[in-house]
């Protein structure tokens, strides 16, 4: 119930305007977000890399209907790549991109960014530009997955992008009923696939609504990915699923370098270090920028204990 309300708030323009007056450096925001500038992102990336962790930088923003805004996001990613190269971090840090931040929703022609639509063309062109710069800098890009209405469109852009940039990573969400089949399609050699539970409120027609079902689906999907030829990226903070991933990797005779764990910045940092110290590859997803509202709301929905803290920081600003 609370999760649904928070996810509804995540999509509310009015709540977003209210929260938007709060600096990204304050309290609860700074726990989950590196800061508002690329310098903040680089500072955090250096700290994590110094501690033996890898990084995926996410320039916050989503759902733009403005072409200029989509181009600014591309420019922000190019700036981040330059900044990473300058401090020699492109081996340890890659980029995560939401297609809806770089044009997928443009056109509004009812095709939701499907092949042939303006959204598909613009998002693909923009993603190509970032992938090329990433490759030249010696790193890679992963396409984040958003709500289920964008899954087909995102996988179509991924397929087209992988013609030229096969190293581009995908994200699949175990809460969606379709995902086990998508895992089978994507578990091929060279294919990097991040498996997460899914952060969006979805209808029962498309998704498992019961957490136990979501977790069971996660394990089924993990089995497919670990037994496949690709590179699984196990994105969860769930101790049980982390343990199961380790067991499945061992059973599949996987070398620790042939898959990785991923966690979010600010969530279970001790566990991130513990896993890395035990020889696993661990990547931390580091968001930065001033468009933190939707991202933060999804984090609160996962851990309602933080809601009161967030509410107090809003109220104390009057
Ligand atoms: C690297 C990464 C990238 C992601 N990318 C996407 C994406 O592209 N699209 C998308 O929809 N979602 C994405 N997500 C979010 C994901 O879908 C989940 O919403 C989020 O990770 C929470 O699910 P969970 O697997 O951690 O388990 P949950 O069910 O939230 O938590 C399970 C258990 O983990 C532990 N735990 C969780 N949080 C905490 C905490 N703060 N402190 C201590 N213990 C905790 C607790 O034991 C809890 O019971 C991503 C997640 C990660 C880690």
pLDDT tens for 119-137 read: 999 999 999 999 999 999 9
Answer whether 262 contacts ligand 1 (Cβ < 6 A).
Answer: yes
Alpha carbons 31 and 155: distance in angstroms, whole number: 31
What is the residue with the minimal CA distance to atom 45 of ligand 1?
237
Answer whether 271 contacts ligand 1 (Cβ < 6 A).
Answer: no
Alpha carbons 115 and 121: distance in angstroms, whole number: 8
pLDDT for the residue numbered 318: 42
Alpha carbons 86 and 61: distance in angstroms, whole number: 24
Q: Which residues contact 59 (CB under 8 A, 6 or more apart)?
A: 73, 76, 77, 80, 97, 101, 287, 288, 289
Beta bridge partners of 94: 56
**Distance from the CA of 306 to the center of ligand 1, in angstroms?**
14
pLDDT for the residue numbered 97: 98
pLDDT for the residue numbered 109: 60
Q: Give the residue from 250, 245, 199, 255 showing the smallest Cα distance to 218.
A: 245
As a whole number, mean pLDDT of residues 46-66 equals 97
Helix residue spans in 167-210 (DSSP H): 179-186
Contact 144, 97 (CB under 8 A): yes
Q: Which residues contact 74 (CB under 8 A, 6 or more apart)?
A: 102, 126, 129, 130
Sign of the torsion angle spanned by Cα atoms 6, 10, 11, 15: positive
How many helices (DSSP H) and strands (DSSP E) are in the chain? 13, 8
Q: Is 205 exposed, middle or buried (0-12, 13-18, 19+ CB in 10 A)?
A: exposed
pLDDT for the residue numbered 17: 57
Answer whether 64 contacts ligand 1 (Cβ < 6 A).
Answer: no
Q: Ligand 1: which of 55, 237, 295 to mutate, most ligand atoms within 8 Å of CB?
A: 237
Alpha carbons 106 and 113: distance in angstroms, whole number: 7
pLDDT tens track for 167-204: 999 999 999 999 999 999 999 999 999 999 999 999 99
The residue among 274 and 2 whose pLDDT is bigger is 274
Give all strands (DSSP E) within 118-259, no chain letters.
Answer: 141-143, 170-173, 192-196, 231-235
Lowest mean per-residue pLDDT among 3-12, 41-50, 125-134, 270-279 = 3-12
Read off the pLDDT band of 10 (50, 70, 90): low
pLDDT for the residue numbered 30: 86
Share of the chain above pLDDT 70, in %: 87
CA dihedral (167, 190, 188, 199) in degrees, to 10, reads: -50
Long-range contact pairs involving 159-165 (C-beta distance under 8 Å, separation at least 24): 160/115, 160/124, 161/124, 161/127, 161/128, 161/131, 164/128, 164/131, 165/128, 165/131, 165/132, 165/135, 165/141
pLDDT tens track for 220-243: 999 999 999 999 999 999 999 999
Length of the chain: 318
Atom of ligand 1 nearest to the CA of 235: 53
Rg from Cα positions in the chain: 18
Residue 13, pLDDT > 70, answer no
Q: For residue 32, give Cα distances in angstroms to 16, 49, 69, 246, 286.
A: 17, 17, 24, 26, 8
pLDDT tens track for 71-87: 999 999 999 999 999 99
Alpha carbons 84 and 75: distance in angstroms, whole number: 14
Lowest mean per-residue pLDDT among 46-60, 71-85, 195-209, 300-314 = 300-314
**Distance from the CA of 236 to the center of ligand 1, in angstroms?**
5
């Amino acid at each position: 119930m609370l999760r649904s309300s928070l996810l509804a708030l995540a999509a509310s323009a009015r709540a977003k305007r209210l929260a938007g007056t709060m600096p990204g450096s304050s309290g609860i925001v700074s726990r989950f977000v590196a800061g508002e500038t690329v310098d903040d992102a680089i500072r955090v990336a250096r700290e994590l890399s110094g501690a033996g962790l890898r990084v995926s930088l996410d320039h916050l923003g989503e759902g733009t209907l403005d072409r200029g805004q989509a181009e600014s996001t591309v420019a922000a990613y190019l700036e981040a790549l330059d900044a990473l190269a300058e401090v020699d971090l492109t081996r340890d840090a890659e980029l995560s991109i939401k297609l809806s931040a770089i044009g997928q929703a443009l056109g509004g022609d009812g095709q939701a960014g499907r092949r042939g639509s303006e959204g598909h063309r613009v998002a693909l062109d923009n993603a190509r530009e970032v992938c090329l710069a990433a490759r030249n800098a010696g790193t890679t890009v992963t396409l984040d997955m958003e709500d289920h209405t964008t899954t087909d469109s995102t996988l179509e852009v991924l397929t087209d992008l992988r013609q030229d940039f096969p190293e581009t990573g995908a994200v699949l969400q175990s809460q969606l009923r379709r995902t086990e089949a998508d895992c089978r399609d994507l578990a091929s050699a060279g294919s990097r696939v991040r498996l997460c539970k899914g952060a969006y409120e979805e209808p029962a027609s498309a998704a498992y609504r019961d957490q136990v079902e979501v977790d069971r689906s996660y394990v089924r999907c993990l089995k497919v990915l670990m037994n496949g030829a690709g590179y699984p990226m196990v994105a969860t903070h769930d101790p049980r699923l982390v343990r199961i991933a380790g067991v499945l990797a061992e059973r599949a005779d996987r070398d620790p370098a042939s898959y990785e764990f991923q966690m979010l910045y600010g969530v279970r940092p001790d566990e991130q270090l513990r896993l890395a110290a035990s020889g696993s590859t661990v990547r931390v997803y580091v968001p930065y920028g001033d468009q933190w509202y939707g991202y933060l709301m999804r984090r609160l929905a996962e851990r309602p204990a933080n809601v009161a803290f967030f509410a107090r920081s809003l109220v104390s600003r009057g």
